[in-house]
Every structure is written in C-alpha cells, then in structure tokens.
Amino acid sequence: MKKQFLTSLAALLFATGLVGFAVAQQQQVQAMRSTPIDAPNRLGPDFKWEGKEGRMQRNYRQQPPLIPHSIAQYQIDTRTNQCLSCHDWTKAGERGAPTLSMTHYLDRDGNELDQLAGTRYFCNQCHVPQADVPPLVENTFQPSAPVSVR
C-alpha cells in the first residue's frame, strides 16, 4: 500500500516537473523564426562577410563552408540543381567558381564518381548562406583551432 502510494507520488512529481519544464522552456527560449508557423518566413537582407575574400572562417575542420553569395534565385529540386551550373567540376573553370571538392564525388562505398554523389545533391542540407545573426543563447563556444580571420 505504502509502496503504491510512493510510486504514484513519484509519477505525480515527475509529471509536474515535466509541465514546469515545458512552461519554463516556452518562456525562456526565443525561436529564430519570428513569424507564425503558417506565414512565409522572410530572410534577412543578403549579408556578405567583409573578411578575406568575403569568406567566413570555418570553426572546425569539417565545417561545410558558408555560402558567400545569395542563393534565393537558385532552384534545387529533384529535377534541377542550379548550384551545379557553376560549382560542378565540368563548369567551375569557365564560371570562375570554386569546384566541388572530391568528397562530393564519392559514393557511400568510397568509389570515385564523375557525377555528383546523390548524398551531396541537396546542397543546403549542409551549406547555408552567411548571415549576421547573434547567438540566441549566450555561450562559451570556442573554435577548435586559433583562427587568424574572424
């Protein structure tokens, strides 16, 4: 009997804790998206980092570089990928754009391909345009190596 009471008490405390936590979360965390979920989310004005060659320094070795130009006009869907019209190895030379690195032409077994690997097709799954956004929550993050341009 006593044991059952204790179990219910524990469950009640846990549930109250969860609700309290949810309420606290709602109050403290501010979303990046300021518009309602069913309204279009407008991007901020295009932003270009003014450091060396307009490139933002990466924070760690494996970070996908941030995109130093607007991408609003480039479509990516299952039929077309306009990023490739400048960045694919077959076009990059004549368009003066950086060529996709070899990692973008390796299939999941590590075979080297002539065409972009399917796993790299949706560029903005990894690459995002540069933006002027202060951290939402103050933090003590440090890049993994000292950097010269920031």
Give contact residues for ligand HEC (rule: CB under 6 A). Answer: 54-55, 62, 64-65, 67-69, 71, 74, 81-87, 95-98, 100-101, 103-104, 116, 120, 122-127
Query: Is 95 or 150 the residue whose CB approaches ligand HEC more closely?
Result: 95
Instruction: Please tell me the distance from the alpha carbon of residue 122 to that of residue 81, in angstroms, as a whole number.
Output: 8
Instruction: Please tell me the distance from the alpha carbon of residue 56 to that of residue 59, in angstroms, as a whole number.
Output: 9
CB of 133 to ligand HEC, least distance (A): 17
Query: Is 51 or 98 the residue whose CB approaches ligand HEC more closely?
Result: 98
CB of 143 to ligand HEC, least distance (A): 15
* 89-126 residues labelled b (16+ CB within 10 A) or e (exposed): beebeeeeeeebeeebbeeeeeeeeeebbeebeebeee
CB of 124 to ligand HEC, least distance (A): 6
